[in-house]
Amino acid sequence: MDKLQITGGHTLNGEVVISGAKNAALPEMCATLLTDEPVRLLNVPRLQDVATMRRLLDNMGVKTETHGDRGGMSFQAADSINPEAPYELVKTMRASVLVLGPLLARFGRAKVSLPGGCAIGSRPVDQHIKGLQAMGAEIDVEHGYMVARLPAGRTRLQGARIATDMVTVTGTENFLMAAALAEGETVLENAAQEPEIPDLAEMLIAMGAKIEGHGTSRIHIQGVERLHGGTHQVVADRIEAGTFLCAVAATGGDVILRHARADHMDAVIDKLRDAGATIEPGSNADGPFIRVRASGRLKAQSFRTTEYPGFPTDMQAQFMALNLISEGTATVTETIFENRFMHVDEMTRLGAHIQTEGKVAIVEGVSKLSGATVMATDLRASASLVIAGLVSEGDTIVDRIYHLDRGYDQMEEKLRAIGAQIERIKG
């Protein structure tokens, strides 16, 4: 198992290119199942979850290819593919559930393993199943698989009004893809508004789908009989950008994040400004960017995770890492997942002062952390421990970084290029 060795105490200076978003690329790879024509994605990040999703599609018989070194990938799903997603491929990645909607819509049947239990909470898929049932699908759970089909005599899903019990990001994505090929109109109430949703909707529209209201909590989809191929550029990863913003705010320095979309990160940027960092968004011929500058100890910030446009749960751990060495005491409230504080015990090993009470963590900033060996427990927890390592005295070893590799595109290379002392130890 690979580890990262970080020697703390270096400021970060220079430029980083932000990759395409993992959480947009994964649903968009699944959306290529909706047509038999070739679909090309640009700016796909190089990370483990993308490789797993590609294996899942390859395993069904989808023809996949990469193009060049700028994240180009193409996909072609012939009518003859096998619409099944086996446990072995689904177990490492919850986003595999995103094949269910497109497979049902295009092939009228699908057999998809239930995603395995995940470190950050129980993460059921009951809303996905309920919504697709409302569109006329018959879905049974048998031997750990969701076995879905259309009733005899039906060839398409039916449009429906779907109001989920809570806002669900991948649920909204599954319904969008299913509804694109359904008969009649689907209305999604309580839809997720995360920027990855409008990005997926724009891709579907480019393939011939009729969608309105994406980016709001009510989305209208008028189903069409078939979709065609097309090309789509994956939106920049707001969580990768946010992770680098927190890293620079913690270490101090001056960094430009190329391609980063400030308009997708208001909640995080507001908190960083309140903490004392200088954040300047801009744009040039190369596209949007964010410049971040910080020096000295910042002020600890309280926040509460909520659905977009609120503070993202996927940034909770990284911002907590910044709070560890800031001045003052802050409360961090996690409202989305019930078990997303596993980084807290590891941070404590570095000398952090944190108390947790249910969904609230109280962080009392300390003036220094001291390097130690810590274990990554999930994707964003790993990133938070890297940030904590960058500001700890001496060496920090972050173990089990396969979690980090799931969701970050060359994180240690990018950090090294702006002055971090960080090495991968192969193991």
Ligand X SMILES: C=C(OP(=O)(O)O)C(=O)O
**Binding characters for ligand UD1, 23-52, by CB under 6 A (x = yes):** x--x--------------------------
For ligand UD1, the closer of residues 192 and 277 by Cβ is: 192
For ligand UD1, the closer of residues 219 and 255 by Cβ is: 219
The kind and range of the H/E element at 423 are strand 421-425
Which one of residues 106, 238, 343, 380 is an interface residue with ligand X (CB under 6 A)?
380
Q: Which residues contact 238 (CB under 8 A, 6 or more apart)?
A: 21, 195, 260, 261, 264, 265, 312
Selection from 106, 85, 90 nearest residue 39 by Cα: 106
The string of DSSP codes covering 171-227 is: HHHHHHHHHHTSBSEEEEES----THHHHHHHHHHHTT-EEE-BTBS-EEEE--S--
CA separation (Å) from 411 to 7, 9, 58, 384, 408?
A: 15, 18, 27, 12, 6
The reply on whether position 269 binds ligand UD1 by CB under 6 A is: no
142, 65 Cβ separation under 8 angstroms: no
Q: Tell me the two tokens of residue 106.
A: 């295009």
The reply on whether position 128 binds ligand X by CB under 6 A is: no
By CB under 6 A, the residues from 99 to 118 that bind ligand X are 118
407 binds, among ligand X, ligand UD1, none (CB under 5 to 8 A by kind): ligand X
124 labelled as ligand-binding?
yes
Which stretch in 68-76, 103-111, 126-134, 284-292 sits in contact with ligand UD1 by CB under 6 A?
126-134
174 labelled as ligand-binding?
no
118 is catalytic: yes
Which one of residues 35, 170, 251, 377 is an interface residue with ligand UD1 (CB under 6 A)?
170
392 binds, among ligand UD1, ligand X, none (CB under 5 to 8 A by kind): none
Q: Which residues contact 307 (CB under 8 A, 6 or more apart)?
A: 167, 192, 193, 194, 336
127 labelled as ligand-binding?
yes
125 labelled as ligand-binding?
yes
The reply on whether position 233 binds ligand UD1 by CB under 6 A is: no
The string over 122-147, giving b where at least 16 C-beta atoms fall within 10 Å of a residue's C-beta and e elsewhere, is ebebebbbebbebbbbebeeeeebbe
Which one of residues 10, 40, 54, 94 is an interface residue with ligand X (CB under 6 A)?
94
Which one of residues 25, 95, 100, 162 is an interface residue with ligand X (CB under 6 A)?
95
The count of other CB atoms within 10 Å of the CB of residue 104 is: 30
Which one of residues 34, 200, 330, 379 is an interface residue with ligand X (CB under 6 A)?
379
336 binds, among ligand X, ligand UD1, none (CB under 5 to 8 A by kind): ligand UD1
Site residues (vs ligand UD1, CB under 6 A): 23, 26, 94-95, 121, 123-128, 166, 168-171, 313-314, 336-337
Residues identified as active-site: 118
